[in-house]
């Protein structure tokens, strides 16, 4: 795969289609009175393919605003899931697709699947064309922290 492919929604597998539909559905619950830019995200866990969703939640002071992806991640983690197979993001922009911001890319990269990557699907609410890529393409030089077994 190059950096990304743009495909018809109908050409996707059933799981990817359902993930995108879940992201589109949760997008309707976004709390975005300041930007009016609603975003929905859905995550598919690797462990047993459960789906978790999130929408953006804005704050008038902007800094505590929560992106849709970072709203979905803690829901999955709280249920014990730490490996994500797929992520779908649905938002509306006229000329382009909406990809996760830099902070969301780094957070998502913490939960890469066993193969070391995450499939990413970006869609507009019309769900006609889908941009398909991988986390490794969105964040090629992600920060990697090394776990320390013991502190001396």
2 is catalytic: no
- Residue 5 neighbours by CB under 8 Å, 6+ apart: 131, 132, 133
Q: Residues marked as binding for Zn(2+)?
A: 67, 101, 104
Counting DSSP H helices and E strands in the chain, the numbers are 4, 6
| Binding-site annotation, residues | 67, 101, 104
Q: At 81, list the tokens.
A: 């899931």
**Alpha-carbon distance 85 to 43, whole Å?**
8
Active-site residue, selected from the candidate residues 49, 69, 110, 119: 69
Q: Give the whole-angstrom CA distance, residue 135 versus residue 120.
A: 7
Catalytic residues: 69
């Amino acid at each position: 795969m190059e950096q990304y492919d743009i495909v018809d929604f109908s050409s996707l597998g059933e799981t990817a289609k359902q993930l995108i539909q879940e992201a589109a559905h949760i997008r309707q619950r976004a709390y975005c009175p300041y930007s009016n830019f609603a975003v929905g995200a859905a995550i598919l866990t690797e462990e047993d393919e459960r789906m978790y969703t999130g929408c953006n939640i804005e704050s008038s002071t902007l800094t505590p605003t929560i992106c849709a992806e970072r709203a979905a991640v803690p829901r999955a983690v709280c249920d014990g899931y730490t490996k994500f197979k797929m992520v779908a993001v649905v938002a509306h922009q006229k000329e382009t697709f909406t990809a996760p911001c830099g902070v969301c890319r780094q957070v998502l990269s913490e939960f890469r699947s066993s193969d070391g990557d995450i499939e990413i699907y970006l869609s507009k609410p019309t769900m006609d064309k889908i941009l398909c890529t991988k986390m490794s393409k969105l964040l090629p030089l992600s920060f990697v922290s090394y776990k320390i077994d013991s502190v001396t």
